[in-house]
Amino acid sequence: MEKIRDAFDFRDFSKPEKVGFAIFTLFLLIFPWLGAGSFVKAVAIQFLLFSLFGMGWNTIGGYGGQVELGKAQYVGIGAYTVALTMVWWKIPFWVSMPIGVLIAIGYSFIIGYPLFRLKGHYFAIATICTSLVLQDIFINWKLVGAAKGIELPIREHPDFLYMQFKSDTYYFYFIMALFYVAIFYMNWFRKSKLGYQLRMIKEDEEAAESLGIDARWCKIKAYSIASAFVAVGGGFLAVYNLYIDPYSVMDLDLSIKIALMSMLGGAGSMWGPIIGSAFLVPLDRFLGSWLGAQKGLIGVDFMIYAALIMIVSAYQPRGIWGIIEQFRKRGA
Amino acid sequence: MAFLEVSELVKDFGGVVANNHISFDINQGEIIGLIGPNGAGKTTLFNCIVGYHKPDSGKVIFKGKEITGFKPFMTNREGIGRTFQIMKVTAGMTVLENVMVGAFCRADDRNLAKVEAAAILGFLGLDSVKTYYLNELPIAAQKKIGLARALATQPELLMLDEVASGLNPKETEEMVDLLKKIHQEKKITLFLIEHVMEVVMPISQRVIVLDGGEKIAEGLPKDIVKNERVIKAYLGEKYAKGL
């Protein structure tokens, strides 16, 4: 009961935050009826999806302060579980998605146990490696479609069981629902014992250990929570795109984007991943399609992207949310 | 049976023997001072007991249970709290949150942890700085917060690493009073590394002296200050004469 109350209790946020959050929620609810084109809708879905990924990453990367750059492997696990079980055994999404999450959690414990013996840069590199190894396995594994990937069988009619719809609006509302589950979870998480302990580990791991915190075990737990979040998003990606291959769901690029968006928005804060995703997803898509299409400007979007990240990280390592808080403090 | 029993403890950092066959006992309810020149192996000894270092040989027995080689969080759960000589001064958590993390060691519930943390801050007279971040506070307050954090884990033995270093005489006096208060009201056994003689001598019931990784003396403060070896190694002629 306490936990449920904590998840829905937003009282300790400031008034502008509460108002902003309410307006944002309202906007999302009516968004599909505002007459946006399919491209804009796709960007909005992408934004919610990356917010979900980012919030997951934020548990271990933000609150726990561990530079984790291997989240793509869990996107892959979630996506492949949904796709393969559907192709092979016609298992509906609502069954295969939780299975994917369970597999991701199990896998994250197996990977996390040795991984968290490492610290700092070594840990970051190791997370990249585990993800790349899994990607390589999938690229060469004939049974799961190898590099060609797999196509999900398309249902004749829109089907709720298999989450196949003609209109993006349904996908939008579905990812929005997942997004809000994630927000409520994070709202509980930041106030939980594990949340506090992780923040202490981030501040000063030695001191945390002296306060009875099993740092390694806490990190493993947070890592598997993050993995579960990301696997949910991966499952969504499979039914949304109806086609997955190791390059689209397990790429290093994806891992880095997940981490970068949260860092840019503000790692270790409630709104950071959402802000980061709101900035970078549209930037990425619009710049990519606008600038990338012009002759001689290929790659300029990446340069703008990189410059933005450098500016924010040099100015305020706690990201955009850190800048906002800084101004708020100065005003108070 | 002694409360904390250290026997024949050896820690060898590949050539430098930081602790060479050190043995001593601490009884429940005592205040023990650990002194010695820089590099004598005091902090290493602390780290070996608490678990940051694994001793090469020897035993640490706490309340009749062998805890040699336990990890720091395990020794903490057994009932040993510690503070650090140099605290990382961070900007990410408030004072209250810092102490709550300590309280979470024994309490799962957030509200309970909050109440306990607030009680400890009140006990140490830190009510007014509750909402500050560590980096916004003077060193004396930071040291007290280190103390509060450790106390929140409800230790039976509290090991303090230079809790008065960097404090001015008035703050040092306050710290001594605070330590006495903790000892009397919370019934916690204290084991402290200290360079400031004004702290060690008045409150310690016994003093252990290390030099070059060896225990060179142990006894009552009034005997220690007269001990030839201790004067030579650490206190210096002046201090001895001044008494």
Give yes or no for residue B158 having a pLDDT over 80.
yes
B chain contacts of residue A2, beta-carbon cutoff 8 Å:
109
What three-state secondary structure class fits A242? coil
Q: Which residues of A touch B87 (CB under 8 A)?
A: 204, 207
**Residue extent(s) of CATH 3.40.50.300 domains in chain B:** 1-79+156-243
Q: Does A11 touch chain B (CB under 8 A)?
A: no
Task: Tell me which residue in A200, A214, A268 faces B101 most closely, judged by beta carbons.
Answer: A200
From A204's Cα to the closest Cα of chain B, the distance in A is: 7
Residues of chain A with Cβ-Cβ distance to B88 below 8 Å are: 203-204, 206-207
A188 to chain B: nearest residue by CA? B110
B1-79+156-243 belongs to which CATH class?
A: alpha beta
A4-20 per-position pLDDT tens digit: 888 888 888 888 899 99
From the list B161, B19, B82, the residue with the least C-alpha distance to A212 is B82
Distances A298 to A9, A179, A260, B113 between C-alpha atoms, Å: 47, 33, 22, 55
Model ipTM value: 0.89
Nearest alpha carbon to residue B68 among B84, B53, B83, B81: B53
Return d(Cα B195, Cα B144) in angstroms, integer: 17
pLDDT, position A295: 64
Q: What is the C-alpha to C-alpha distance for residues B221 and A313, in angstroms, rounded to an integer?
A: 54
- Nearest-CA distance A176 → chain B (Å): 30
Lowest mean pLDDT among A22-26, A260-264, B45-49, B57-61: A260-264
The DSSP secondary-structure symbol of A165 reads: -
What would the two tokens of residue A84 be? 């393969």
Are A204 and B113 in contact (CB < 8 Å)? no
Pairing status of strand B206-211 against strand B189-193: unpaired
Residue-level pLDDT at A332: 60
> What's the mean pLDDT when you consider all of chain A?
89
| A197 touching chain B per CB within 8 A | yes
Q: Which two tokens stand for residue A87?
A: 């192709």
CA–CA distance, A123 with A196 (Å, rounded to integer): 22
Contact A210 B76 (CB under 8 A): yes
**Token representation of residue B136:** 């916004």
Q: What is the pLDDT of residue B159?
A: 94
Look at A211 and B108 and tell me if their CB atoms are within 8 Å: no
- Please count the residue pairs, one from chain A and one from chain B, whose beta carbons lie less than 8 angstroms apart: 76
User: In this complex, is the C-beta atom of A285 within 8 Å of any C-beta atom belonging to chain B?
Assistant: no
**C-alpha to C-alpha distance for A67 and A73, rounded to whole angstroms:** 15
Q: Report how far residue B48's alpha carbon sits from residue B34's, in angstroms, rounded to the nearest whole number.
A: 14
A206–B84 CB contact, under 8 Å: yes
B110 and A192 in contact by Cβ < 8 A?
yes
Residue-wise pLDDT for A293-302, tens only, equals 666 666 676 7
Closest CA to B109 of A211, A212, A196: A196
pLDDT at residue A292, as a whole number: 63
- For residue B54, count other CB atoms closer than 10 A to its CB: 12
- Which residues, in sequence order, are bridge partners of residue B191? B32, B159
Closest residue on chain B to A203 (Cα): B90
B105–A199 CB contact, under 8 Å = no
**Closest chain A residue to B50 measured between Cα atoms?**
A210
Question: In angstroms, what CA-CA distances link B75 with A86, A211, B156, B240?
Answer: 50, 10, 11, 38
Nearest residue, CB atoms, B92 vs list A193, A197, A202:
A202
Q: Does B90 touch chain A (CB under 8 A)?
A: yes
Predicted confidence at residue B71, as pLDDT, reads: 93
C-alpha closest to that of A57 among A124, A3, A138, A134: A124
Beta bridge partners of A150: A244
The closest of A163, A196, A193, A198 to A178, measured between CA atoms, is: A163
A245's CB contacts (< 8 A; 6+ apart) are A145, A147, A148, A149, A150
Q: Which run of H or of E encompasses A13?
A: none
Q: For testing the chain B interface, which of A210, A318, A321, A325 should be mutated: the one with the most B CBs within 10 Å?
A: A210
Using one digit for the tens of pLDDT, what is the confidence trace for B37-82? Answer: 888 899 999 999 999 999 999 999 999 999 998 999 999 999 999 9
Compute the CA torsion angle B104, B107, B112, B113 (nearest 10 deg).
-10
Q: How far is CA B241 from CA B33, B83, B216, B231, B236, in A?
A: 21, 33, 21, 10, 9
- What average pLDDT does chain B have? 89
The answer for B 152-171 residues in CB contact with A (under 8 A) is 152-153
Q: Judge whether A215 is closer than 8 Å to chain B, CB to CB.
A: yes
Q: How many angstroms separate the CA of residue A98 from the nearest CA in chain B?
A: 28
Q: How many CB atoms lie within 10 A of CB A1?
A: 5
Question: pLDDT tier at A322 (50, 70, 90 boundaries)?
Answer: confident
Residue A213 to residue B101, Cβ atoms within 8 A: yes
**Nearest residue, CB atoms, B82 vs list A191, A200, A210:** A210
Measured CA to CA, the distance from residue B99 to residue B146 in angstroms comes to 8
